[in-house]
Amino acid sequence: MLADAVQAFPDECCGFLFGQEDGEGHRTITTIRVVNNAKEGDKRRRFVIAPLDYIQAEQFAEESGLTLLGVYHSHPNHPAIPSEHDRIAAQPFFSYVIVSVLERKVGPVRSWRLNDEAQFEEESVAVPVLSTGAENA
């Protein structure tokens, strides 16, 4: 997801988030799928996911035993805060992860979900620490 955001700069990237949700509403993203930003024209401030990509994402989730939990996209040279356009296009249930990319460097990564009033509320994001094995050397 982060590599996709940097590679797409100065355009917005987008993709799907798959994983599981436990009984307490905690989500674990285990798989992402990059999709083409289908926006016609200037892609620096907007992204569009084609309907066929949504259908394929739902099929992938079903075949993989995963839940389609949401969408990610980048904000080139802009904060990881959803725009009004993002809010209007958002769907209930989905998490919306936004990656801020500042001059080809990953900035803050934040996640948002619509509340019952159709307004975004920020979700907490926990990033696992990956072991390199060097600490045992």
Reported as type and span, the H/E element at residue 3 is helix 2-8
Average pLDDT, the chain: 91
Q: For residues 100 and 107, what is the distance between their CA atoms, to the nearest angstrom? A: 5
Q: What is the pLDDT of residues 80-130, one digit of tens each?
A: 999 999 999 999 999 999 999 999 999 999 999 999 999 999 998 875 544
Q: How far apart are CA 95 and CA 103, in angstroms?
A: 25
* pLDDT value, residue 20: 95
Positive or negative, the CA dihedral 87, 15, 54, 65 is: negative
Confidence band of 25 (pLDDT split at 50, 70, 90): confident
Query: pLDDT at residue 135 above 90?
Result: no
Q: Which two tokens stand for residue 61?
A: 């989730």
Q: Which two tokens stand for residue 112?
A: 């948002």
Cα dihedral sign for 50, 72, 32, 9? Answer: positive
What is the percent of the chain with per-residue pLDDT over 70, rounded to a whole number? 92
Distance CA 34, CA 60 (A): 13
Confidence of residue 136 (pLDDT cuts 50, 70, 90): very low
